[in-house]
Amino acid sequence: MFGLMQDRPLMIASIITHAARQHAKAEVVSKNIDGTIHRSNYAETERRARRLARALIALGIKAEDRVATLALNSYRHLELYYAISGMGAICHTINPRLAADDVSYIVNHAEDRIIFIDGVFAPVIAAVAPLIGKTVRAIVIMGNRAQIPALNLPAGMDLLCYEDLIDGADENYVWPEFDERSAASLCYTSGTTGRPKGVLYSHRSTLLHALAVNVGDVIGIRAVDRILPVVPMFHVNAWGIPYSAPMAGAALIMPGRHLDGASIAGLFNGERVTISCGVPTVWLGLLQHLRSSGERIDTIRRLTVGGSAVPRSMTEAFGTEYGVELGQGWGMTEMSPVGTYCQPNAANAHLTGDELLRLKEKQGRALWGVEMRIVGDDGAALPWDGVAFGLLQVRGPWICSAYFGDAPGSALDAEGWFSTGDIATIDADGFMEITDRAKDVIKSGGEWISSVQLENIAAGHPDIAEAAIIAARHAKWDERPLLIVTAKPGHEIDKAAVLDVFTGKVASWWRPDDVLVVSELPHTGTGKVHKMILREKYRDHLVDKG
Ligand code: ADP
């Protein structure tokens, strides 16, 4: 017997129609490329998205067509999210930080028909235009006529203007309803190893994920909040915030291209931001700015951080120096992306001080909707004792089952588990802690050393700005940890003092064999330290040193 409840499909358009009706005046604020501020709201966003949907239809876009964006966080990008998915097409966000070769590969693999771009990314399109003519019919500049850059496109590929499209379309459009399992958006992994792979989100997965990240123990957005996603809309839908903020009715503050500490702090204070989300490097930049300028961020009640491990020293600094709670989440492109979040539960609600900081080093407990387990080399599940570590696997309604173009289910094992590629422990209270990405683990004399744990300790040293540990080749032990660091502005690094910070914190054989001081660490397109580049460069450092 089925329940007798209304079988209404979970549609992305329903988020923006809800926000337009219930939270019409909630602001959408964007910092433009030229530094000026643009103000809109959810009623206006929905109205313009309707016009845009009409314009897409006029351009020949049909359900399931891929319409791409190459754009920063802005009100126009938000309008595109809703117009494209809302009309039944697929919003393919492209990461402009990828190499041109990867961009053309992705566009061709996705068979994009139109690409909407911020004018600043015209050089990216200029580089790939001759290679993407098979399916791409038009490039649309997200601006007005005066903002159209000079761009030579091959025959058959038009150069169009976003505001002209909106002006030329009427808003008499009714959002269609269709199967909630239909594809809504597409994002490619950044492919630090091998070619990028496409993750195809559905309307249903997107709405369930948006609801799940909105609970109090995760991002917990309320209608009176003003949230600034530093995480980009061009990668994993900015952690779903462009959906969960209008769902909650919170104001959205879009930072555009200005992501340095001073610009972020300026927006926080100027726009009275209460919540923000970013990767650790962004918060590191903010912290450095706050410390050197003396500026405060008193409207912020929660900073959310994820994408790579969060050093304890950073959580402590924001808490004690600025009274701001830094909450860590974990996830991946294949998981929409959020899988876990670290907030105390009944088992550890009493923790304070050092014990609470230790808990907050963990990536946290699974959100409802995400099942997780760790398995050993033989595939058998390992105990949740906080000690046993193995490959982390996940299952759930917003986790991918196959990559775009592959057969449904092909990314899963026989029991439906997706292997994350992360190595983790899970403690008795359900808190997961990443010890490494499988490919970054250090195997010294057959024993594993956690690079994440060593990096975390190194990041606590007062002279170190950023730290990375890589596996360097070693004649006797196969691999040994090598620490590569950058110094805080105005600080000198004393190698012996740096190596001393590990004493008593880890087993003595975990201590890095050497410290390399560099002026800058390379980062991936998603803001993580690019360990592959470091490995290529410094893999033989210990062997060469003798
Ligand atoms: P890519 O950057 O390759 O596109 P994702 O953005 O999907 O990949 O990143 C997913 C990976 O990032 C995870 O598998 C994990 O290794 C790492 N990661 C994400 N959040 C955290 C975290 N809080 N702590 C440690 N690692 C994390």
Q: State the pLDDT confidence band at 182, using cuts at 50, 70 and 90.
A: very high
Token code pair at residue 368:
């409802």
Region label for 528, one of left (φ > 0), alpha (ψ between -120 and 50) or beta (otherwise):
beta
Mean pLDDT of 233-244: 97
Q: Is 417 an annotated catalytic residue? A: no
Average pLDDT of the chain, as a whole number: 95
Map tokens 């809703």 to a residue: 82
* Ligand 1 pocket, Cβ-based, cut-off 6 angstroms: 189-190, 192, 306-309, 328, 330-333, 337, 363, 420-422, 434, 437, 524, 526, 528
Please check the confidence at residue 545 and state whether its pLDDT lies above 80.
no
Please check the confidence at residue 165 and state whether its pLDDT lies above 90.
yes
Write down the pLDDT at residue 441. Answer: 86
Phi and psi for 69 in degrees, rounded to 5? -130, 145
- For residue 308, report the distance from its CA to the centre of ligand 1, in Å: 5
Write down the pLDDT at residue 492. Answer: 94
pLDDT: which is higher, 233 or 447: 233
User: What ligand 1 atom has the least distance to the C-alpha of 437?
Assistant: 16
Please check the confidence at residue 193 and state whether its pLDDT lies above 70.
no
Distance CA 400, CA 397 (A): 8
Write down the pLDDT at residue 190. Answer: 77
User: What ligand 1 atom has the least distance to the C-alpha of 332?
Assistant: 7
User: What ligand 1 atom has the least distance to the C-alpha of 189?
Assistant: 4
Distance CA 303, CA 219 (A): 9
* SS3 per-residue string spanning 310-367: CCHHHHHHHHHHHCCEEEEEEECHHHCCEEEECCCCCCCCCCCHHHHHHHHCCCEEEC
Residue 145 structural domain: 13-26+39-205
Rounded alpha-carbon distances, angstroms, from residue 541 to 169, 453, 466, 470: 61, 21, 20, 11
- For residue 523, report the distance from its CA to the centre of ligand 1, in Å: 13
Mean pLDDT of 529-544: 91
Domain with residue 176: its CATH number is 3.40.50.12780
- For residue 519, report the distance from its CA to the centre of ligand 1, in Å: 24
Mean pLDDT of 441-461: 90
Residue nearest atom 13 in ligand 1 by C-alpha distance = 332
Q: Is 443 an annotated catalytic residue? A: yes
Whole-structure pTM over 0.85, yes or no? Answer: yes
The domain boundary residue, chosen from 156, 189, 205: 205
Q: State the pLDDT confidence band at 122, using cuts at 50, 70 and 90.
A: very high
Listed residue (251, 199, 339, 254) closest to 80, CA to CA: 254
Mean pLDDT of 527-541: 91
User: What ligand 1 atom has the least distance to the C-alpha of 328?
Assistant: 23
Choose the residue to mutate in 102, 332, 400, 435 for probing ligand 1, maximizing ligand atoms within 8 Å of C-beta: 332
pLDDT: which is higher, 239 or 448: 239
Listed residue (73, 106, 95, 75) closest to 233, CA to CA: 73
Within 8 A by CB and 6+ apart from 10, the residues are 180, 203, 204, 207, 208
Amino acid at 72: L
Q: Which of the following is catalytic: 62, 134, 443, 545?
A: 443
Domain tally for the chain? Answer: 2
The pairing of beta strand 447-449 with beta strand 418-426: unpaired
In this structure, is residue 408 part of a structural domain? no
Residue nearest atom 19 in ligand 1 by C-alpha distance = 307
Write down the pLDDT at residue 438. Answer: 85
Token code pair at residue 448:
């594993």
Distance CA 455, CA 503 (A): 14
Decide: helix, strand or coil at residue 470: strand
Q: Which of the following is catalytic: 45, 189, 206, 526?
A: 189
- For residue 361, report the distance from its CA to the centre of ligand 1, in Å: 15
In this structure, is residue 109 part of a structural domain? yes
In this structure, is residue 78 part of a structural domain? yes
Write down the pLDDT at residue 173. Answer: 97
Choose the residue to mutate in 398, 431, 528, 533 for probing ligand 1, maximizing ligand atoms within 8 Å of C-beta: 528
The domain boundary residue, chosen from 205, 221, 248: 205
Q: Is 189 an annotated catalytic residue? A: yes
Q: Yes or no: say if 46 and 82 are a contact pair by the CB < 8 Å rule.
A: yes
In this structure, is residue 303 part of a structural domain? no
Q: Yes or no: say if 424 and 363 are a contact pair by the CB < 8 Å rule.
A: yes
In this structure, is residue 308 part of a structural domain? no
- For residue 434, report the distance from its CA to the centre of ligand 1, in Å: 10
Mean pLDDT of 457-471: 94
Write down the pLDDT at residue 192. Answer: 64
Distance CA 272, CA 391 (A): 42
Listed residue (230, 235, 269, 236) closest to 252, CA to CA: 230
In this structure, is residue 350 part of a structural domain? no
Residue nearest atom 9 in ligand 1 by C-alpha distance = 332
Q: Is 528 an annotated catalytic residue? A: no
- For the stretch 88-121, pLDDT in tens is 999 999 999 888 999 999 999 999 999 999 999 9
Q: Residues of the chain with pLDDT > 90: what percent?
A: 90
Identify any residues that bridge with 160 across adjacent strands, giving them in sequence order.
Answer: 140
- For the stretch 59-75, pLDDT in tens is 999 999 999 999 999 99
Distance CA 148, CA 145 (A): 6
Helices (H) and strands (E) in the chain, counts: 16, 25
Q: State the pLDDT confidence band at 191, using cuts at 50, 70 and 90.
A: low
Q: Is 493 exposed, middle or buried (0-12, 13-18, 19+ CB in 10 A)?
A: middle
- For the stretch 424-438, pLDDT in tens is 999 999 999 999 888
Residue nearest atom 1 in ligand 1 by C-alpha distance = 190
User: What ligand 1 atom has the least distance to the C-alpha of 526?
Assistant: 2
In this structure, is residue 510 part of a structural domain? yes
Write down the pLDDT at residue 546. Answer: 67
Residue nearest atom 5 in ligand 1 by C-alpha distance = 332
Write down the pLDDT at residue 15. Answer: 98
Q: What single string gives the DSSP state of each residue in 378-397?
A: TSPBPPSSSS--EEEEEE-T
- For the stretch 133-147, pLDDT in tens is 999 999 999 999 999
Write down the pLDDT at residue 194. Answer: 78
Q: State the pLDDT confidence band at 445, using cuts at 50, 70 and 90.
A: confident
Token code pair at residue 296:
């405060």
Residue nearest atom 12 in ligand 1 by C-alpha distance = 307
The domain boundary residue, chosen from 158, 184, 205: 205
Domain with residue 492: its CATH number is 3.30.300.30
Distance CA 333, CA 185 (A): 12
In this structure, is residue 403 part of a structural domain? no
- For the stretch 25-36, pLDDT in tens is 999 999 999 999
- For the stretch 369-414, pLDDT in tens is 999 999 998 999 999 999 999 999 999 999 999 999 999 999 999 9
Phi and psi for 391 in degrees, rounded to 5? -70, 130
Write down the pLDDT at residue 183. Answer: 98
- For residue 306, report the distance from its CA to the centre of ligand 1, in Å: 7
User: What ligand 1 atom has the least distance to the C-alpha of 452?
Assistant: 25
Choose the residue to mutate in 308, 367, 450 for probing ligand 1, maximizing ligand atoms within 8 Å of C-beta: 308
Out of 308-312, 351-355, 446-450, give the one with best mean pLDDT: 351-355
Q: Yes or no: say if 329 and 298 are a contact pair by the CB < 8 Å rule.
A: no
Decide: helix, strand or coil at residue 47: helix
